[in-house]
Amino acid sequence: MICPRCKNQDSQYFYTFKNITYCRKCVKIGSTCFSPSQLPSIIKTVDYQLDYELTPLQNNISRQLLQRYQQHLNTSLKAVCGAGKTEITYEVIKYALNQGQRVCFTTPRKELVIELAKRLQSQFKNISITTVYGGHSELVDGQFIICTTHQLYRYPQYFDLLILDELDAFPYVNNEVLIGLLQNSIKGNYIYMSATLTNQPDLLMTKRYHGYLLDVPKCYLTSSLVMYLWAIKKIRDFVRKKKPVLVYVPTIQLTNTVARIFKLFKLKSHAISSNTKDIQKFIERLRHHQLDVLVTTTILERGITIDNVQVIILYGNNRIYTTATLIQICGRVGRKTAHPSGSISIFTPYKTRAIKECLKTIKQDNA
């Protein structure tokens, strides 16, 4: 037996009650709310508008994505952080929508969905975009859906084009149920994207859109006490220069502890984690210099752009900092043309294998 939603084949997860068989692997996620057949495809004249021109490299990758989709090919794309990979999907999205096809842009984390929806709503014309995530699911049908990977259970065999951004991000990575739900939602082709793909990609972008190199982090081998003193000194210097700061720590408990320590030194700080209800509000406060520093877990490792932000990683030897996580965190810096470079500091008692691999990968991408 195979679950039609999550593709589970393990018999121990199947349970039959009153002649109805349930898959206990995915039953808690929710029931499908509608059938795709209830939603007719409508051919539109969809377009998008950018306030800037794509680079020659972006245009080239954009054309290849479109050509591969027209040839009914799936595509994996590796693009360094800040390469502008979202924009290069616009041509293929526009093409699919204008063919009357259904499109999904999905990503594992709610914060990324909110940021992405705001951006695409302002750039795409003559199309209503439906945004679906936990706590925001009153309207779930539409031709163009932006959602978390958890919400894909609603769309069996629904999408002609599915774009998955950050396929190696938690909670999607290595989650058999979410992977099965995603595969079941695709009736056409997919595009998978990330800066940290481990397999050989079909398409590759190793340069940022503004042409500047990736910032290479500096490692400081220190004890905990010295780490805090150095970090506070750096943050104070950034504050004087009106540069916002993201400080990454490995646990939720540490976010609160470190934020309190910073406040003792008269720094306007706030703790961010998966327990924070309105993360976007505090990100905006940092952007507008109402906060000096956000102390965060890896929940903000990717999908966030803050102009001129500087990054500090504390307890860099913690195993939560994988090579991919470190590369993504480093990619928060230098994403805007106005401030294409910045400071990345890793405080750790020793260089882990992940730190060494992160440094090696970034230097290779810059070569």
Q: Are residues 232 and 322 located together in one domain of the fold?
A: yes
pLDDT of residue 10: 78
Specify the CATH number for the domain of residue 96.
3.40.50.300
Q: Within this chain, do residues 247 and 134 fall inside the same structural domain, yes or no?
A: no
Residue 286 bridge partners (DSSP): none
State pLDDT tens for residues 88-147. Answer: 999 999 999 999 999 999 999 888 899 899 999 999 999 999 999 988 888 899 999 999
* Strands laid side by side in the 344-348 sheet: 218-221, 344-348, 310-313, 245-248, 293-296, 269-272
* Residues 222 and 113 reside in one and the same domain: no
Tell whether 294 and 343 lie within a shared domain.
yes
For 173-217, the pLDDT digits (tens) are 889 999 999 999 999 999 999 999 888 999 999 899 999 999 999
Q: Hey, what are 88's tokens?
A: 């290069």
Helix axes 252-264, 224-240, angle to 10 degrees: 60
Last residue of a domain, one of 145, 173, 205: 205
Question: Which of 150, 178, 205 is where one domain is finished?
Answer: 205
User: Residue 337 belongs to what domain range?
Assistant: 218-278+285-366
Mean pLDDT of 289-300: 97
Residues 167 and 295 in one domain: no
Shared domain check, 228 and 119: no
For the chain, the domain total comes to 3
Identify the CA nearest to 141 among candidates 228, 54, 57, 38.
38
- Residue 211: inside a domain: no
- DSSP strand pairing (47-48 vs 124-125): antiparallel
In the predicted model, is pLDDT for residue 218 greater than 80?
yes
What is the widest separation between alpha-carbon atoms in the chain?
Answer: 69
Whether residue 238 is found in the same domain as residue 314:
yes
Residues 223 and 123 in one domain: no
The β-bridge relationship of strands 75-79 and 186-194 is parallel
